[in-house]
Amino acid sequence: MWSNLHPEDASMLGGYDILMRTARNAVLAVSALAPDESAAKFMRFGRGQRRITGRIARSAATLDRTRPTVWIHAASLGEFGIARPVIRGLKEQTGCNIVVTFFSPTGYEALTRHPGDTDRVYYLPLDTRRNARRFLDAVKPDCAVFMVSEYWPNFLTELRRRDIPTFLVSAIIRDNGPFFKWYGSLFRRSLRCFTRIFTLDPRSVENLGRLGIDSATVNGDPLFDNVSLVAATPWTDPVIENYAAGRKVFLAGSVHVDKDMEIVCSLCNSRKGDTPFVIAPHEITPGAIEALRSGIKGEVRLYSECDGATDFSATRALIIDNVGSLAYIYRYAGWAYVGGGFTRRLLHSVIEPVVYGIPVAYGPNIERKVVASTMVRLGLGTVVTDAAGLERWFASLRDDHGRLAYIAKKARKFVEDNSGATPRIINHIARTICGKN
């Protein structure tokens, strides 16, 4: 497999492969143990890796091979939001098979329950040389599409060896990224395996040029197309409508059990019941639910327990204990807080709420998030660093209807100006796969 590589590259990939095989064995061994709550997500991932390539081979054998097959990989559900409008467009234009893989249990579990336009959904096998070969033998993709920052050297090397067109979508290549570090040779090699890289900004194209890569195009963010599609989709929820009782809700989405939860609970407690709060934890675990119950002074109810309920008069907060509905629930909000901004890299989608024309607050770690930074500059997003900051932000906006109307108008223009990336990606991929078949 690596016989045509430079000796240094072959040695590097060989060492990486040993590391990944060791990691695979460790994952399988640990996942066989009884899980504690903190490791539940890891356990689900580990169990999904057991005998994975054999299961994929049996499942993929039933694909309709009269149609081209597109393999799309996303790390988790957030990145899949970028892929969703691309998938719909490819289905409409080409009728192709869509095979989706995830690294995270959250995305895998959500899509297996609601597959939509996808034909197969799998966990991505761990990136060993053998797994890459067996996966591609089974799926037989006509092209592969990776979302955002997925650089798996064995898979990418094998795709390139087989001359399978491979695309990277919504890439951001920063000046201080690992590609420019002394240890970045494996990352640089991975980038060179892509047939075409669609970037979010011109600077990324310039940085790729510094690496000798001229196959990049500034394209924009398909997430804007996805959220516009979601917002235009008719959708109602009787539980939230009964709880809100005609009022706009404060929606805290993808809230982590850290500073996020602390400041959201503080704001909820300070409002004395004058605003309905809906909170969607990032991880739906007993620990997250208990943290909310103990942090909020008043009745906290789980969405799953409210089917048919009509009396929410004593309820201070409603917790969304399911996955996949958050982007739709934002339509009931008048103000939003998006979690993950107190972590190093995990600020979640700020585009999902802004498409509904509502102001958004989030934690301070946004230097890696182009859209979040742009929203701050435009006055659509606000960085908060503590509970007092979130309270000041909300208090200044809650009853300022003129300002809320101004933000709504500006938000609509922001989304409109940044939409349209998806058709360019779809057309490029469609030409590629139709030309091969």
Per-residue pLDDT tens over the stretch 401-431: 999 999 999 999 999 988 888 999 999 999 9
pTM (predicted TM-score): 0.76
Contact predicate 312/301, CB 8 Å: yes
Nearest to 316 by CA among 268, 281, 284: 268
pLDDT by residue, tens only, the chain of 437 residues: 444 544 455 556 667 777 777 766 666 666 565 454 445 666 677 677 778 899 999 999 999 999 999 999 998 887 888 898 899 999 999 999 999 999 888 888 888 888 889 999 999 998 889 999 999 999 999 999 999 888 889 999 999 999 999 999 998 888 888 788 887 788 888 899 999 999 988 889 999 999 999 999 988 888 898 889 889 999 999 999 999 999 999 999 999 988 999 999 999 999 877 899 999 998 888 888 999 999 999 899 999 999 888 899 899 999 999 888 899 999 999 999 999 999 876 678 899 999 999 999 999 998 878 889 999 999 999 999 999 999 999 999 999 999 999 999 999 999 998 888 899 999 999 999 876 65
- CB-based contact 250:394 (threshold 8 Å): yes
Q: What are phi and psi of 25, to 5 degrees?
A: -60, -40
Q: Which of 204, 225, 236, 280 is nearest to 81 (CA)?
A: 225
Distance CA 68, CA 430 (A): 10
Residue 311 carries which DSSP code? -
How many helices (H) and strands (E) in the chain?
19, 14
Digit-coded pLDDT (tens) for 316-372: 999 999 888 899 999 999 999 999 999 876 678 899 999 999 999 999 998 878 889
Task: Kindly provide the residue ranges of all beta strands, DSSP E only, lying in 92-231, ordered along the sequence.
Answer: 97-102, 120-123, 143-147, 166-171, 196-199, 216-218
Contact in structure between 411 and 334 (CB atoms under 8 Å): no
| pLDDT (0 to 100) of residue 436 | 60
